[in-house]
């Protein structure tokens, strides 16, 4: 008998993965956390019934959310990751020799613990002396640290429950305030077809705070609609990153052509977001 994990975020859309076995299933202090082994996508991390990553396709998400702002800044020294307890974004950030410190604000310690156990392909970025894990809410930390970070990566879950305020105008204001001059941020920013109004609202907030915000996206088969978007938030143009050498190590998703094309939006969505 086949076992399928089915995710239903909308009453008109659902997707399923065939599951070989359940590796972890627990209710933490904050959320329902599962790790399952699937037949094609490898191990998958699921929070509150929503797929966060799989071994097979996580590279599109982690490389795009990290490298676009990191390359735009050029040689970032201090980086903040909001969320990111699986370690995938941290692994990409630590590829940069210029990085002196990475602070990870993750609310749920069990995400870190189980990810270290079940996603060995990430290596163990948590053991790097440049990484500092803070098990706490990111809002308070941002309020306490204005002007401290060259790059901020908001690697969050969907805007449901406690994560909803990480998509608010107030969060974006605090995030921009925590950047150094010329710094850049990238945030998980949902899917053009299903979340158009939310993305439009976030873009308006980013445009009020910075000179060069822009939406871009990546293909991730296990996310709703087969892709996920990001908001680039900075006074520094994202195009600066096209002329910056990649950090040591091999990319699995990002190359110069993908980097440039990620900002080319389908016409229906471009009109909604940018007008004209």
User: Are the CB atoms for 218 and 225 separated by under 8 Å?
Assistant: no
- The contacts of residue 114 (CB under 8 Å, 6+ apart) are 24, 33, 35, 45
Structure tokens at 183: 């710094």
195 annotated active-site: no
Structure tokens at 66: 């990290």
Structure tokens at 35: 């790790």
Instruction: Give first-to-last CA distance, the chain, whole Å.
Output: 53
Check 57, 86, 150, 155 and give the catalytic one: 155
Structure tokens at 232: 């680039």
- The contacts of residue 118 (CB under 8 Å, 6+ apart) are 23, 24, 35, 43, 45
Instruction: Report how far residue 78's alpha carbon sits from residue 236's, in angstroms, rounded to the nearest whole number.
Output: 17
By annotation, the residues acting in catalysis are: 155
């Amino acid at each position: 008998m086949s076992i399928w994990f089915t995710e239903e975020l909308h009453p008109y859309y659902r997707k399923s993965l065939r599951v070989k076995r359940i590796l972890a299933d627990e209710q933490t202090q904050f959320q329902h956390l599962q790790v399952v082994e699937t037949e094609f996508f490898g191990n998958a991390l699921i929070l509150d019934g929503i797929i966060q990553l799989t071994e097979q396709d996580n590279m599109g998400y982690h490389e795009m959310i990290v490298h676009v702002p990191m390359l735009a800044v050029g040689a970032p020294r201090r980086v903040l990751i909001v969320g990111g307890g699986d370690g995938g974004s941290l692994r990409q950030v630590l590829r940069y020799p210029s990085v002196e410190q990475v602070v990870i604000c993750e609310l749920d310690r069990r995400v870190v613990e189980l990810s270290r156990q079940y996603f060995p392909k990430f290596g163990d970025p948590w053991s790097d002396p440049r990484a500092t894990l803070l098990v706490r809410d990111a809002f308070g930390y941002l309020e306490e640290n204005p002007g401290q970070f060259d790059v901020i990566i908001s690697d969050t879950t969907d805007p449901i429950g406690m994560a909803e305020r990480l998509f608010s105008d107030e969060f974006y204001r605090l995030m921009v305030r925590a950047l150094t001059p010329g710094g850049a941020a990238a945030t998980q920013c949902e899917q053009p077809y299903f979340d158009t109004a939310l993305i439009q609202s976030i873009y308006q907030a980013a445009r009020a705070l910075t000179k060069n915000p822009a939406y871009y996206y990546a293909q991730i088969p296990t996310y709703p609609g087969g892709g996920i978007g990001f908001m680039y938030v900075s006074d520094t143009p994202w195009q600066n990153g096209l002329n910056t050498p990649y950090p040591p190590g091999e990319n699995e998703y990002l190359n110069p052509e993908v980097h440039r094309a990620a900002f080319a939006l389908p016409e229906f969505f471009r009109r909604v977001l940018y007008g004209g």
